Chain A
Amino acid sequence: MNTKVVVPTVVAIIVIVAAVLLLTRGGEQAPTTIRLYMEDMVETAYLEKLLPEFEQQTGIKVVIEKASYEVMREKLISVFKSSEGYYDVIIVDNPWVAEFAEAGWLVPLDDFLAENPQLNVDDYLTSLWWTVGKYWKDGKVYMLPWYNYALALMYRTDLVNTPPRDWAEFYSLAKQLTDPQKDFYGVAAQARRGYKVVEEGLNYVYGFGGRVFDASLRPVINSSQAVEALFLYGRVVFETAPPGAINWEFDEAFQAAQSGKAAMMITYNWMIGALNNPEQSQTAGKWMVAPVPGGYAVLGAWGWAIPHNAPNKEAAFKFLAWVASPETEKKLALMGHAPVRKSTFLDPEVNQKYPYMKTLLEVVDNSLPIVPPVTVGEQIVHILGQYFSESLLHVKDFEEGKISEAEAKALIKQELDKAAQEIYELMKTEGYYEQQVQLPPPWGPG
């Protein structure tokens, strides 16, 4: 084509389109728009279905920008650091809470809550409220809980009569069910280095009575309980889980479970929905949920927050008042949302649709966050992830007969000593040991 014709044509089109856009913008009152930054996952999809209700009530238009978990932290910090701001409402994962709050990046919500008593914060489960609600250090509220991802035990009702109560029982049951000849395994484990191995392994530690921190925030992950727990965890991974589970993420484990290759799985409590959904699972209808063996689960949770530089705070508050209300949560819960309010867990309608709601309440009530709200939460998770992963390699050597059980445990202890040491130094750098601190429940007494 002739450029002498094309260039002026293109220029003309651009000018006309620009003119039309400008004129129409000026012509009518532009509606208030708020931007949300959320993880691209099922909870966000539930919310999207309900959004028209809010938009009709308030006339505020909501735009959700969805991202994968991997990029969220980086993206959030670049927005916090910019002078203009971009998002009005964001969601924050529990290991990041203290970091963002202390950096002054989140707007305190105390005044807002005082003006909106209908939000009834006492309705939130205690474990969640102190994880993604009230910040223990300055007593201010920076977030409102959004959904929980406490871990629970999924098991096949056709293969398991009563769910195991403790980890030893879990291990022997898993071993019984494992038959590599038939490509069938007791547990679809997910032991990849990073978040996964911690989310799974820490349940064992909790079940054995171990903890990451004591009430004064000193690391105690190198306890003998933790050593025993990780040793057993390793045996589960190498003896009863499919080969390669040491590098598995959620996806691999879920595929193995839904395709009928495993009898049990430790995963987020609400995954029971997906496992029993015929569209996602070949073994739908055969799964049931129970608290993790040992009774004490790792808790994860997301909370709503407003960035310090949100362009439209007023509309953001309105959105928060709507999305955090008990009524909205109930509607979401009926779609499959993982609740954060006692009232929703106990709601008759919700219980009728999801008979296992009371079990889930028990799960979330008896759970402890993966890491308390401290400013180096993300890094602590990864320190644990690395040394948990190293510990598993020692169990592998034990399984292959290279070392004895005692040697393996001694080596695990060394790894956990290193983890405790690194965590201690990190916490010290961040000034946590300069004065006596007292953690709130569920970590401390109270």
Chain B
Amino acid sequence: MASVRLVRVRKVFHTPRGEVTAVDDVSLEVRDGEFLVLLGPSGCGKTTTLRMIAGLETPTRGEIYIGDRLVNNLHPKDRDVAMVFQNYALYPHMRVRDIIAFPLKIRKYPREEIDRRVREVAELLKIEHLLDRRPRELSGGEQQRVALGRAIVRRPQVFLMDEPLSNLDAKLRVVMRAELKRLQKSLGVTTIYVTHDQVEAMTMADRIAVMNKGRVVQLGTPRELFARPANTFVAGFIGSPPMNMIECSLDPGRGLLDCGVLKYPLDPNTGSLLQSRGVIEVILGIRPQHVRIQKGEVPDSVARVPVYVVEPMGTETIVNFKLGETMLKAVVPADVEVEAGEVWSIVFPRERVYIFDKKSGELVA
């Protein structure tokens, strides 16, 4: 097993339309045995980062270490990493047995050893009955398992997974999510997992590195990211439905944030903190789950507005309020009866409110 370390890695692609910086100065340390997720929207550089670790791309600058070895100029076969591709990239002309055996075969393992390991892996992944089929005779989920099998069979130091679940249907994805995590824990192999799905990231990762525009914008455990998003990007990316973001400006005189219809009274400490930093324009963030609503008048309500739309979800209900241009969502238990048009009081529990600098997007309080 091994750790993976990226030091100020940069990747620039030369395209006919000029240079494109796909990965910009990324430093990252993946601990031995850790399940690290690279999370971000498409084009954020997460796949390129993974491909550099695999050896499919060469970094323009910076260093990549696997264990203690600098691997920048190392052929993939000498890096001892295994990769699971988004579309599985199974060898279309081979039988499952040979696909899984391939990494061992080209390393000239003895036949018996290969057979034994393939059997073990097939058992582990419950695909013994598929060994004599070819990829085109397999379902998406089965192909996924074969791709995993090919990665596992070699017992590499690092697993690299590039959106391995994105081609599966929603139901299967949930099942595989759990299985993949269990497998990783039981094998204990350092894993770097790329996805754009924050649910996958939250449920599977030991730590998540959120990437945006080629940079890592925050690195932390799922809990940390959820509890203390470093900026509006992370805040908006993690959590479902996404965090409510309301543009406000500081009114130092009255000690509150003026958000149009909505007025949020600041506690004095926060007020003076903002003032001392000269932050006037801010973004107020609160997760829909944390917004409290009440039918009657409440003393500490930030606003009283009519309900715009109600979305019942079964176990819970999403209530939408229209605040000027922005929509405010609140998640309430399903048994709370809300009708569109009714006027409700909205309450923001003070400890659940995030205040971001509008200019930099960074969390202030």
Classify A-B as touching or not with yes or no (CB < 8 A). no
Question: Which B residues form the contact surface with A (CB < 8 A)?
Answer: none
